[in-house]
Structure 1
């Protein structure tokens, strides 16, 4: 049942991303081109997503526990650290250059376009590289003399 619910959620998300045009990098890049062929429709997509998320969190978190798990797993860290700021900046620059974000690229794989496959491959490589760097840094910190 959990797998079926997960699949349904992913399907609804993918359909929403596709219908909103976020799988089209030209539409995304036109949103960022304020001085040129600006397309404000992405702002309405984001605004709608924020409204649904705001209401959804209020509804879901009013329950004592989630439907598919024993407890809610919410982040506890609330401070802005260099990793968060740097990662956010890198995400924004990558989105502005490629016209894809991970949420839009995965459903776009269904289009069969070569550039989407390249983006997703680079995304996976970046995730693996970041994990390797973090692992190396953790090992160095635990091996360092006190």
Structure 2
């Protein structure tokens, strides 16, 4: 069946199964619990449903149609980009970038939240990532040779 909506489970449990090529019986894949969602792959990739979902007991499901889903995802993506672009104008090494370049950089960002005391980078390890501190404070330390 063509997927045109996403479901969020409010109450009950559901089983996910699929009949694989060359098989006649469905294979159990996973059990869904309240708070979980299913059907997003069909929405994201405009594809038929990849598996079957069966209610194990009485369930309450919340349905989100394709248009609403796309609108929410696109709005959230646009707000995120604008937030990061604004932040980049305040970072000295990026402030002279063209708006298009800033938007491309903003799209590449992955937000990482850390707790007090977490190590962000470790001296001696390869520096494969660049971190920009958007909020909070961090302390940099270095071991000095004597």
TM-score (norm 2): 0.27
Give the number of the structure whose alpha-carbon radius of gyration is greater.
2
Relative to total residues, which structure has the larger strand share, 1 or 2? Answer: 2
Which fold has the larger relative contact order, with Cα–Cα distance below 8 Å and residues 6 or more apart in sequence? 1
TM-score (norm 1): 0.27
Relative to total residues, which structure has the larger helix share, 1 or 2? Answer: 1
